Amino acid sequence: MTDDDLEVPRRRMHIVQLLPNLISILALCAGLTAIRMAVEGRFGFAVGLIGLAAALDGIDGRLARMLKSESAIGAELDSLCDLVNFGVTPALVLYYWGLRADTSLGWIAVLIFAVCCMLRLARFNVGNRVAEGVEKPKGFVGVPSPAGAMLALAPIYLANAFGPALNPPAWVVALWMVFVGALMISRMPTPSFKGVRIYAENARFILVGSVALIAALLTYPWVTLLLLDLVYLVGILVVWRKSARSLRSVV
């Protein structure tokens, strides 16, 4: 047997199939740049870049499935990028924005939030590796990391939407970060749009609503982001109440 016999056969792939991984890398670059913007005091740009990273995160997985380019490396790359973009970056942005007045308490909140995000991602990755024939849960357990990042940034939305009068003190920001971190690692069922189905004749309303939402984000970004956070929190309560009611009915 020669060395040639031991060569692993080379697999060809279309260059378009690299797009999902490229999008994950672009999301990582957006998250890292958001940290730089926070260091420079440009917090509006920092929040926008985290939002861009969240949008790209919602695209790469779906694009990989469409292009049939899913791989173990791609899944790990996506998870590592999520930890930076939605665990480390928002925590540091909040630290530079409003936690340096109380450095000890603020840094503790940063560490707790980042660790909670890491644990949330680890649990999600393990949950995705279910055996064949086992049905995956339709919704999320705990707040997903992109949603957690956007929730954690709510104090910045509040301060920019209503001015310095509603600028929360450092200890409130720290407690809010810890609360959001607890939501990420909780066992609470949370909303998911993956299983949502609509009638074809209603698609036009969804499209018009999406255009209105984008226009609102561009025109009134802080108020719109704050309202989206509130709607999401209400959604968590609704899903949780339905889940608790169904458990009581079973018992």
- Rounded CA-CA distance 29/84 in Å is 10
Question: What does the buried/exposed string (b/e) look like for 12-43 if buried means 16 or more CB atoms within 10 Å of the residue's CB?
Answer: eeeeebebbbebbebbbbbbbbbbebbeeeeb
Given a cut of 80, whether residue 166 has pLDDT beyond it is: no
Residue (of 147, 157, 145) closest to 46 by Cα position: 157
Q: How many CA atoms are closer than 13 Å to the CA of 18, on its beta-carbon side?
A: 7
- Which pLDDT band, with edges at 50, 70 and 90, does 131 fall under? very low
In a domain? residue 73: yes
Range of the domain at 220: 14-130+138-245
3-state secondary structure at position 43: helix
The model's pTM is: 0.83
In a domain? residue 52: yes
CA distance to 62, 131, 137, 194, 195, per residue, from 134 (Å): 21, 6, 9, 18, 17
- Rounded CA-CA distance 246/204 in Å is 33
Q: Select the more confidently predicted residue: 16 or 140.
A: 140
Alpha-carbon radius of gyration of the chain? 20
In a domain? residue 69: yes
Q: Select the more confidently predicted residue: 237 or 191.
A: 237
Q: Select the more confidently predicted residue: 72 or 115.
A: 115
E strand or H helix at 77, and its extent?
helix 72-83
In a domain? residue 3: no
In a domain? residue 2: no
What pLDDT is stored for residue 187 in this prediction? 86
In a domain? residue 5: no
In a domain? residue 4: no
CA distance to 91, 156, 202, 227, per residue, from 47 (Å): 11, 9, 32, 15
Number of domains in the chain: 1
- Rounded CA-CA distance 240/6 in Å is 55
Residue 134's identity, in one-letter code, is V
Pick from 63-77, 126-140, 168-182: least confident: 126-140
* CA angle, 80 then 52 then 164, to 5°: 110
- Which pLDDT band, with edges at 50, 70 and 90, does 213 fall under? confident
What pLDDT is stored for residue 24 in this prediction? 84
Residue 30's identity, in one-letter code, is A
Given a cut of 60, whether residue 23 has pLDDT beyond it is: yes
In a domain? residue 7: no
CATH of the domain at 201: 1.20.120.1760
